[in-house]
Structure 1
């Protein structure tokens, strides 16, 4: 405790001895006030502080060396564990893709892999304070593990999804002859790839009550002319008829029912040649048609496409030109009482007309080179995948039933007069939706009754 003699510059504050002529050294806060010490005490004090500092540094250095040795061992074990799980994930991806193991074994492999991943990432050791926190090798190894896990999950999910789809498909030994199956075939014809197109997921979710806005079409996109039959990209060169029959059968459409197949082919021709592609840009434009106008016109074109496909059986593929002439007419007012014309949209129609010509040309060429049935099946399979619940498809009746049940629960006070009688609306939707009028169809579309 400082005393008055210490503050009065009479005694050294360290040794308590009088200065007695020795020169006091001020310690502050100023040169004339505060505490004072003698030079020998300060010399001893500084020397002691230096010894303590050097001792602490030596202790810290030794501790850092010990921590470095221990961390190197722990880090090495963790790196090895990450690499082993990465290799395991790579192996699971390979086994799932090769489709050699049973699906249940693949599922258990993924469960085990996920457990190993949780353990190795959840128990990641923390480096000591003296170690480098920015360990690039650890980061890179962890990132590689994440990529391998994504690949494994994707491969297993793909395998199990198609396994579930194939298992739910009934055995059909009667189709073995058509598929030229081996003698010991069980009648189950598995598929491993289905392309539903870019927008089917939004339609499917809407049917389940989840409505999402479709992504805007890319204005820079161009739709290339479909490759001619006989080229490596042509489905006909890969056994188109067999693949289409397999696909339709899997989905539940009888490929031998001419009426059903022709109707589906008409839906496919309208959807592929007219509805999908450049019309998306026109539809999205400020001067474009409403949803109800698009729906009404598609129904009208479906009838024309169906008639053209039937006529093509006797008159040849040239009969499709009748459908093409109407579908590509940019000055023709659309169905459902609409005054809309493609030219009135203010958008360029060159890509639309070319796209339509390309798709009709392709179907005509397939019919000419592979036969009428090949062209029909090709467009029918497309409709089954991309437009399964459109007017003209087997699912349409069930879709109408659900739509009417939903409509009955809605407030229709602001609905067009055409929607007043639910029985008439149901009959109209089943037989000729366009005759309800574009305005009524637009009202229904806005209430999420149609995708």
Structure 2
């Protein structure tokens, strides 16, 4: 006779405490004390031939009782599991709603910190209250019951999303407060208002929102506090690529002046002509730091600037870069920050009467700003380590190789002459008014192409009169 496992406990409980010799000899059923007579005894152990024995009717009755008990217990367990599941679903829903609310609050704090509209003290209090809400909602996290679905990851996923948003909020607030303290400690500089084209009545304070200290400053600053950290020298050897500053990957040559002079001579640029050299360096800095790279994708996007706007802005930035290079000869490489500040300003309307700003293009600008900062930082680094002339030669050689016919380069007059020939042959009936007087147009192209306006430059670019690609 097969006895199911669920009946073992029931049968064991029915066994006599002190069995008789007839029980152990297999003569009487140990459950009902009736003799087996002609009935077959069922061994109950410990072996098939020794121990206690029971009759089939008794064992069937006990198995049936055990089955009823088991089924009742299963029903009770099912009801309890169902009740636990319903209660857990309600608890989980409330907790997930709490996590979601705090996550939305963290997103809002991040936006407010980055927008810069609220006072720093208010931003600080927002973070404090956000941290309190985060502590309350995470410390009260419920524990799922054993009956909960082990494959349900909603709680873990929402907690992870909240953690990410809290990291973003903390970083945004820390950045805002750090720059607030730095800006508050800096004196007013009204002499820079003209360079920055500040509105009337500017106090002379020009707050920074991004300062690039290079790869080594943190180690030097920590050393002043007695904390020395070993780190690799960020200056690679000749012919290697620098991977120590963001995306900047440019060749650092310990003594590259002679080689760069050779490059410039090859392209017909006299490296001993300081005016020409600085102009070429300005063109190279605009091309390397501003024009080439992430701006290409923004330019190609639907909301990006037109060819004429690109050309006008490049001319304006060329002037700023040239002024920065001239100032850096006396004031050091920090003078390049004047160019960097304007070139990386995503809210500044572009030159040529354009209303375009990078922030309204609908495209991400973080990579563009980082790219520009990296290139300016690299030029500053070359100037600091190898001298002003080396930094200027480096960017001038770049301009000679990639923008030899740009405004400010020796090849620009020839480009203007070619453009005027094409313009004279074109039907200008639909041209902007700025292109009506060819003599004035030629003079503007030679002296200040952006003064023609972005619309006029667009018209010229669209007809191939200017190389605006």
Matched pairs, number: 285
> Which of 199, 209, 221 lines up with 2:241 in the alignment?
221
SS at the partner of 1:35? Answer: strand
* 2:157 counterpart SS class: helix
Per-residue deviation, 1:191: 1.0
Answering whether residue 32 of structure 2 is matched by residue 15 of structure 1, we say yes
| Pair 1:95–1:262, CA change in 2 (3 A) | closer
Deviation digits for residues 33-83 of structure 1 (CA, Å, limit 9, x no counterpart)? 100111111110110010001101111111111111111111111111111
Preserved CA contact (<8 Å) 1:12 1:38: yes
Q: How far apart, in 2, do the equivalents of 1:238 and 1:27 lie?
A: 104
Change (3 A) 1:262 1:52: closer
Answer yes or no: is 1:56 the counterpart of 2:56: no
SS in structure 2 of the partner of residue 231 of structure 1: helix
Q: Which residue of 2 aligns with 1:195?
A: 212
SS in 2 for 1:133: coil
Matching residue of 1:26: 43
2:394 alignment counterpart? 358
CA contact (8 A) 2:333 2:384 kept: no
SS of the residue corresponding to residue 201 of structure 1 reads helix
Contact 1:26 1:32 in 2 (8 A): yes
Matches within 5 A, 1:40-55: 40-55=57-72
Aligned-residue offset at 1:274: 7.9
CA RMSD of aligned residues (A): 4.0
**TM-score computed with the length of structure 1 as normaliser:** 0.54
Aligned position for 1:185: 202
Contact in 1 for aligned 2:31/2:54 (Cα 8 Å): yes
| Matching residue within 187, 190, 215 for 1:170 | 187
Which of 147, 158, 166 is equivalent to 1:130?
Answer: 147
Alpha-carbon displacement from aligned partner over 1:168-187 (angstroms, at most 9, x marks no partner)? 11234465455443333233
Aligned to 2:91: 74
Q: Report what 1:118 is aligned to.
A: 135
Matches of 1:142 and 1:117 in 2, distance apart? 10
- Secondary structure at the aligned position of 1:17 is classed as coil
Does residue 273 in structure 1 map to residue 293 in structure 2?
A: no
1:20 to partner: Cα distance: 4.0
CA pair 45-238 structure 1, distance change in 2 beyond 3 A: farther
Q: Provide the secondary structure at the position in 2 that maps to 1:150.
A: helix
* Highest RCO, 1 vs 2 (Cα 8 Å, sep ≥ 6): 1
1:45 and 1:122, CA in 2 relative to 1: closer, same or farther beyond 3 A? same
Contact 1:273–1:360 (Cα < 8 Å) also in 2: no
Deviates more, 1:211-220 or 1:53-62: 211-220
TM-score (normalizing by structure 2): 0.52
SS at structure 1 position matched to 2:45: strand
CA displacement at 1:113 relative to structure 2? 1.1
Is residue 26–residue 34 contact of structure 1 (8 Å, CA) maintained in 2?
Answer: yes
Q: 1:154 aligns with which of 162, 171, 174?
A: 171
Name structure 1 gaps, 5 residues minimum.
Answer: 246-254, 277-300, 310-319, 325-354, 371-451
Deviation of 1:136 after TM superposition, in Å, equals 2.0
- Structure 2 counterpart SS, 1:27: strand
Partner of 1:231 in structure 2?
A: 287
Determine the C-alpha separation between the residues in 2 that align with 1:54 and 1:209. Answer: 73
Relative to structure 1, is the Cα distance of residues 224 and 118 closer, same or farther in structure 2, using a 3 angstrom cutoff?
A: same
| Match for residue 85 of structure 1 among 96, 102, 108 | 102
CA 1:207–1:363 in 2, change beyond 3 Å: closer, same or farther? Answer: farther
Query: Which consecutive residues of structure 2, in runs of 5 or more, have no partner in the other structure?
Result: 1-16, 243-248, 252-280, 291-313, 336-376, 402-406, 409-469
**1:187-234 deviation per Cα after TM superposition (whole angstroms, max 9, x unaligned):** 322111101122221222122221112146589736447971443834
Q: Secondary structure at the match of 2:33?
A: coil
Aligned twin of 2:453: none
Contact 1:173/1:186, CA 8 A, preserved across alignment: yes
Aligned pairs for 1:392-407 (under 5 A) are none
Distance 2:210 2:332 in 1: 24
More displaced stretch, 168-177 vs 152-161? 168-177
